Amino acid sequence: MLVDTHAHIDFPRFDDDRDKVIKRAKENNLEYIINVGADEASSQRSVELAQHHDMIYAVVGVHPHEAKSVTEETYSRLKEWAAEDKVVAIGETGLDYHYDNSPRQVQQQVFRRHIRLAKEVDLPLVIHSREAEDQTMELLKEEEAEEVGGIIHCFPGDQKMANQALDLNFYIAVGGILTFNNSYQLQRVVKQIPLDRLLLETDAPYLTPEPNRGKRNEPAYIKYVADKLAQILPHSTEKIAAVTTENAKEAFSIA
Q: Which residues are annotated as a binding site?
A: 6, 8, 92, 128, 153, 203
Q: What is the CA radius of gyration of the chain?
A: 17
State how far the Cα of 221 lies from the Cα of 208, in Å rounded to an integer: 8
State how far the Cα of 22 lies from the Cα of 33, in Å rounded to an integer: 9
Q: Point out which residues pair with 129 in neighbouring strands.
A: 95
Q: Tell me 101's DSSP state.
A: S
* Residue stretches of the annotated binding site for a divalent metal cation: 6, 8, 92, 128, 153, 203
Number of Cβ atoms within 10 Å of the Cβ of 193: 19
State how far the Cα of 115 lies from the Cα of 118, in Å rounded to an integer: 5
